[in-house]
Chains A and B, each alone.
Chain A
Amino acid sequence: MIIVKDLSVERLNKKIFENINLSLTSGNITILKGKNGSGKTTLLKTILNIIEPSVGSIYWKGKLLKKNLYDFYSHITYIADKTSSLTKLTVKDNISIWSKIFLSNINNSQIETALKTLKLEDHLNQKVGTLSFGEIKKLEFLRLIIENKKVWFLDEPLSNLDEYSIELIKQTFEDHVAKEGSIIFSSHQNPGIYVTEEINL
């Protein structure tokens, strides 16, 4: 589905990374590993066409990504390392906005089940700003279920999570891959998640 060829990014005359090659097909998980500042987020954003690469090309379904951009966007979910939840609104409002704006076909009972699994069901009427960082992070993952897209781009999905949540993420990854989905995520370390490709930056 996604092929990245000889990708290099330079910012302010400083090389962030160079000659990155990767391919992401259905049922695959790719991990981007590296220290802080090694360019993991930059690589994710470059593949998402947010940052212009200095050299290299990205293909989606065999076509150049730029020529097929909005089809690509209609198949992906991106979760950044910082929260995108609207902190002034309640958990319920955020879920309602996401469901509407992403034209989600997920029903209420599926959302309720996901909330219970994430142990967020008691916080439904609480403002997001009052939740702990880990809880906000878990709420962010609810977007994966609401958007229900094939390809997931996750920036540091495992940071600030307890062991239970990490196990939950591992299980969610396995379920998604079993349904022919694919995942590309960045992380400092890999706590036992089965990956098909590892890119060291």
Chain B
Amino acid sequence: MKFLTKITFFFYREYKLNLSGVQDILTNIIFFFVSIFIFIFSIGPDKETISLIGIGILWTLLLLSSTLSLRKFYQDDFENGNLLIIHLNGFSYGFIAILKTLSHFIFVQIPFLLSIPIACILLNISNEKLIYVFTSFTIGSLILSCLGSISSSMNLMNQRNYLLGSVIVMIFSVPIIIFSVGIINLEENFYSLTNILFGILLIVFAINPWASGLCLKLSLENN
């Protein structure tokens, strides 16, 4: 029971931190929408073309916007020693990785998910497709959070090149984009593609605590 209470208060702490940095989340969302406008202006007013490539644009921008927030994933807590304090409070490194991933999904990715209907209107994506867009984005963004956790924890050991983490996330997100766009465009294969995407989620969710936990341990050891 004590452990569950500690987990609840961990999320309370994350909520307070994200609330104090709400301008960062808003900046990410503004970046997302400004980029959509730039795409629309550069493609031109043809509704059919925008509708055809709209999903691809949405996914590319979600990915880019997600990588913007990766620097904050562990860095602040690592630098001010809070990662160590959380560990000494009884959380293993792997468990910290799971909690931080869920926190990233709740406080960074969900605001994006909520803004998707507006983005769909801008990109002329039909209402019937909205449920497919939501499904693929929900699973896909959780996968991106897991990949973000792994790459950010690796970056703690490599303070000189921050772009490397973003590159890793982008490379590993290629299959996610393929299946996610497939879910939306090939409606008849919705269940099979969703299952594949869900399978990828389970794999990265299982690898994340091991990989991120090890990186956190090594980076704290060498700090």
Q: Is the CB of A195 closer than 8 A to any CB of chain B?
A: no
Q: Are A76 and B88 in contact, with the CB atoms below 8 A?
A: yes
**For residues 150 through 172 of chain B, which have their beta carbon under 8 Å from a beta carbon of chain A?**
none
Contacts of A76 in B (CB 8 A): 88
- Chain A 16-52 interface mask (CB, 8 Å, partner B; 1/0): 0000000000000000000000000000000010111
Complex interface: stretch among A57-65, A82-90, A161-169, A175-183: A82-90
- Chain B 3-32 interface mask (CB, 8 Å, partner A; 1/0): 001100110110011001100000000000
Q: Which of A51, A52, A88, A103 contacts B20 (CB 8 A)?
A: A88
The docked-state distance in angstroms from the alpha carbon of A89 to that of B9 is 16
Contacts of A93 in B (CB 8 A): 16
Q: Which of B2, B13, B21, B90 has the most CB of A within 10 A?
A: B13
Q: A87-B80, A88-B17 are in contact. Are A101 and B10 (CB under 8 A)?
A: yes
Q: Is the CB of A80 closer than 8 A to any CB of chain B?
A: yes
Q: Are A97 and B88 in contact, with the CB atoms below 8 A?
A: no
Q: Is the CB of B214 closer than 8 A to any CB of chain A?
A: no
Contacts of B84 in A (CB 8 A): 50, 78, 80, 84
Contacts of B90 in A (CB 8 A): 70, 73-74
Contacts of A52 in B (CB 8 A): 221
Q: Are B80 and A86 in contact, with the CB atoms below 8 A?
A: yes
Q: Are A84 and B80 in contact, with the CB atoms below 8 A?
A: yes
The docked-state distance in angstroms from the alpha carbon of A89 to that of B12 is 13
Contacts of B9 in A (CB 8 A): 97, 100-101, 103
Look across to chain B and name the residue whose beta carbon is closest to the beta carbon of A81. B81
Q: Is the CB of B89 closer than 8 A to any CB of chain A?
A: yes
Q: Which of B2, B12, B86 contacts A103 (CB 8 A)?
A: B2
Chain A residues touching B, range? 20 to 34
The docked-state distance in angstroms from the alpha carbon of A109 to that of B144 is 45
Look across to chain B and name the residue whose beta carbon is closest to the beta carbon of A101. B9
Q: Is the CB of B220 closer than 8 A to any CB of chain A?
A: yes
Contacts of B221 in A (CB 8 A): 50-52
Q: How far is the CB of A34 from chain B (nearest CB, A)?
A: 19
Q: A84-B80, A88-B21, A97-B16 are in contact. Are A48 and B5 (CB under 8 A)?
A: no
Q: Is the CB of B85 closer than 8 A to any CB of chain A?
A: yes
Q: Are B16 and A89 in contact, with the CB atoms below 8 A?
A: yes
Q: A50-B220, A102-B89 are in contact. Are A80 and B20 (CB under 8 A)?
A: no
Q: Which of A51, A70, A89 contacts B17 (CB 8 A)?
A: A89
Q: Are A73 and B89 in contact, with the CB atoms below 8 A?
A: yes
The docked-state distance in angstroms from the alpha carbon of A85 to that of B20 is 14
Contacts of B220 in A (CB 8 A): 50
Q: Are B6 and A103 in contact, with the CB atoms below 8 A?
A: yes
Q: How far is the CB of B111 from chain A (nearest CB, A)?
A: 18
Q: Are A84 and B85 in contact, with the CB atoms below 8 A?
A: yes
Q: Are B12 and A100 in contact, with the CB atoms below 8 A?
A: yes
Q: Are A78 and B85 in contact, with the CB atoms below 8 A?
A: yes
The docked-state distance in angstroms from the alpha carbon of A50 to that of B88 is 9
Look across to chain A and name the residue whose beta carbon is closest to the beta carbon of B92. A70
Q: How far is the CB of A193 from chain B (nearest CB, A)?
A: 24
The docked-state distance in angstroms from the alpha carbon of A46 to that of B188 is 58
Q: Are B88 and A73 in contact, with the CB atoms below 8 A?
A: yes
Provide a sorted-by-A list of 16 A–B residue pairs whose CB atoms are within 8 angstroms. A50-B84, A50-B221, A73-B88, A73-B89, A74-B90, A78-B88, A82-B81, A83-B81, A84-B84, A84-B85, A89-B20, A97-B12, A97-B16, A100-B9, A100-B13, A101-B86
CB-based closest 5 A-B pairs: A100-B9, A88-B20, A84-B81, A101-B9, A80-B81
